[in-house]
């Protein structure tokens, strides 16, 4: 399986692209009138290894798997989360707005004639080392600038569809029933080969401290082979 670029067909996620941005702790919705668009439960599989005193935050970057545009951070005031040092084993996150317009990208069907417009998000837990509520990332591996660093990544992904296919696409790697709006996707991989995909699965996080984006999935990766 290969990744075709341009306005081509998404077959397999490849390496990431340049990302420079900032994202805060995500403690409050953007405005008091915002309505929840997506709420999902999460947990960190094990907190063993999280540094004492770590300033844990939730971050989300939107990435184009066809590598045609830079990663886009989700603004911190567009979502809320109950994540805290005391709630690593069970916390919830709510999105109040769609991804930034710059995060959306189109994908054609193999023969053309049908197209989806969507965004693909990677969520992670990071240590806000300087307690400024922001992080800076850059490079093909979404490297995070010190003193901040990633603490955990997720094998699940967040997908937002602004315009679905006009008809179900059985061979679409993210599943044939992708509908408008948000969903979370769980990938069941056999090595680098994607198998079953489940929607609205929630998100688990796996501890993997790093300066580069932790990629927990073995298939459909967004920032590494």
pLDDT in tens, the chain (225 residues): 223 333 333 433 333 332 333 443 333 444 444 789 999 999 999 888 899 999 999 999 999 877 788 899 999 899 999 999 999 999 999 999 999 999 999 988 877 788 999 999 999 999 999 998 889 989 889 999 999 999 999 999 999 999 998 887 777 877 766 789 999 999 888 888 877 888 888 899 999 999 999 999 988 888 887
Q: Please count the other Cβ atoms lying within 10 Å of the Cβ belonging to residue 158.
A: 23
The whole domain housing 179 covers 38-210
109: how many CB neighbours lie within 10 A of its CB?
A: 16
Q: For position 176, what pLDDT does the model report?
A: 65
Is residue 8 in a domain?
Answer: no
Cα three-residue angle 223-215-17, rounded to 5 degrees: 15
The answer as to whether 13 is a domain residue is no
Quick one: pLDDT at residue 12? Answer: 35
Q: What's residue 221's pLDDT?
A: 87
Would you state the pLDDT for residue 61?
Answer: 96
Torsion of CA 83, 85, 86, 88, to 10 degrees: 60
Q: Whole-prediction pTM value?
A: 0.83
In a domain, 3, yes or no: no
Is the residue at 1 inside a domain?
no
For residue 185, is it within any domain? yes
Which helix (H) or strand (E) covers residue 122, if one does?
strand 115-127
How many domains does one find in the chain? Answer: 1
Is 96 among the domain residues? yes
Residue 137 inside a domain? The answer is yes
Is residue 23 included in any domain, yes or no? no
Q: In terms of DSSP H, where are the helices of the chain? A: none
Residue at token pair 């066809």: 66
């Amino acid at each position: 399986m290969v990744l075709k670029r341009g306005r081509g067909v998404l077959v397999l996620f490849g390496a990431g692209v340049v990302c420079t941005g900032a994202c805060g702790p995500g403690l409050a919705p953007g405005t008091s009138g915002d309505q929840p668009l997506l709420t999902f439960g999460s947990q960190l599989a094990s907190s063993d290894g999280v540094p004492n005193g770590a300033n844990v935050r939730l971050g989300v970057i939107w990435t184009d798997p066809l590598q045609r545009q830079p990663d886009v951070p989700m603004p911190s005031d567009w979502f809320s989360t109950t994540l805290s040092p005391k709630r690593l084993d069970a916390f919830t996150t709510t999105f109040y707005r769609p991804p930034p317009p710059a995060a959306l990208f189109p994908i054609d069907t193999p023969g053309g004639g049908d197209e989806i417009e969507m965004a693909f998000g990677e969520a992670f837990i990071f240590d806000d080392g300087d307690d400024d509520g922001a992080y800076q990332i850059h490079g093909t591996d979404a490297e995070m600038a010190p003193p901040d660093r990633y603490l955990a990544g997720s094998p699940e992904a967040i997908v937002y569809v602004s315009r679905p296919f006009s008809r179900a696409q059985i061979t679409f790697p993210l599943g044939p029933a992708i509908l408008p709006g948000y969903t979370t996707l769980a990938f069941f991989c056999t090595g680098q080969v994607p198998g079953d995909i489940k929607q609205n699965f929630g998100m688990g996080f796996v501890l993997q401290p790093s300066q580069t984006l932790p990629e927990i999935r073995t298939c459909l990766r967004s920032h590494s082979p």
